[in-house]
Amino acid sequence: MSKTFEPKILAFLCNWCSYAGADLAGVSRFQYPPTIRVMRTMCSGRVDPTYIFEGLENGFDSVFVFGCHIGDCHYIDGNVHTAKRMNLVKEVLGLAGIGKDRMHLRWVSAAEGQLFADSVKELSEVTAELGPLDMEAAQLPLAAARRTFESPRLRWLLGMDRELTERENVYHEKIDPAAYDQLLKEAAKEELEKALILETLKEGSLSVRSIASKSGLPVYTVSQRLGDIERAGQVDLDRYEGTTPLFVSLAV
């Protein structure tokens, strides 16, 4: 681990397993670096994806989520929902250019104090290798990533995942889980692109090329997504500068 940089890491620990595992690590005096700031939660399933981005926006270099092993959740399957959500969080972190390794998910039981200590050490070293999060460069993509997971479309798809892939509908049909995962990734990409445009438009009225330059999106993608969010009533044509149309955000 770098001697000149000590990561500052936000760690969400579920009450019934990983928090107890952390407590055992302390009682047993297992050594691990003092890099984490702990948030205790009743279940890892209560960690909303937006919390990850808020943690990074508030100065943490990475965020860890610790929960019970699959099959051992105190609330039956809260950690199954966690796994699906956090996999998509990592996907969006990668798409936004922040880096998938800024977030990690680990399973630790109440009896695995050594595993908890080893996990903190391992993941702290990963974060140290990444270096401090450049907040100036990450401000726009982080805000857009958080907005992505506030999207009603994405929240609905995440909420209906198991309903659509594990249970039959009235026609005795189920959606293939791999196909649904691909659908989630595509939806997340589209919602992130729209969010980047909306966050960029907070500066004021901008042209398509200006939006593309500031957001890092291709001009064609900006034009395509502008049409989507204009139809949704979130963007409107503001005025023309010569022959160049300028768009303004109507979103909150």
Total of domains in the chain: 2
Q: Are strands 103-107 and 244-249 parallel, antiparallel or unpaired?
A: unpaired
Nearest-angstrom CA–CA distance, 232 and 220: 19
Q: Are 103 and 157 in the same domain?
A: no
Q: Is residue 51 part of a domain?
A: yes
Q: Is residue 224 part of a domain?
A: yes
Average pLDDT, the chain: 95
Q: Is residue 1 part of a domain?
A: no
Give the pLDDT mean for 130-134. 95
Q: Are 63 and 55 in contact (CB under 8 A)?
A: yes
Is residue 89 predicted with pLDDT exceeding 70? yes
Domain, as residue range, for 203: 151-249
User: How far are the Cα atoms of 74, 107, 120, 126 from residue 82, in angstroms, in the given order?
Assistant: 13, 11, 19, 22
Provide the token pair at 62. Answer: 């990475």
Is residue 6 predicted with pLDDT exceeding 50? yes
Q: Are 97 and 23 in the same domain?
A: yes
| CATH number of the structural domain spanning residue 244 | 1.10.10.10
Q: Are 161 and 101 in the same domain?
A: no
Q: What percent of the chain has pLDDT over 70?
A: 98
Instruction: Specify the pLDDT at position 3.
Output: 60
Nearest-angstrom CA–CA distance, 88 and 220: 25
Q: Are 160 and 109 in the same domain?
A: no
Is residue 107 predicted with pLDDT exceeding 80? yes
Handedness of CA 231, 235, 239, 243 (dihedral sign): negative
Q: Are 103 and 7 in contact (CB under 8 A)?
A: no
| CATH number of the structural domain spanning residue 30 | 3.40.50
Strand, helix or coil for residue 178 = helix
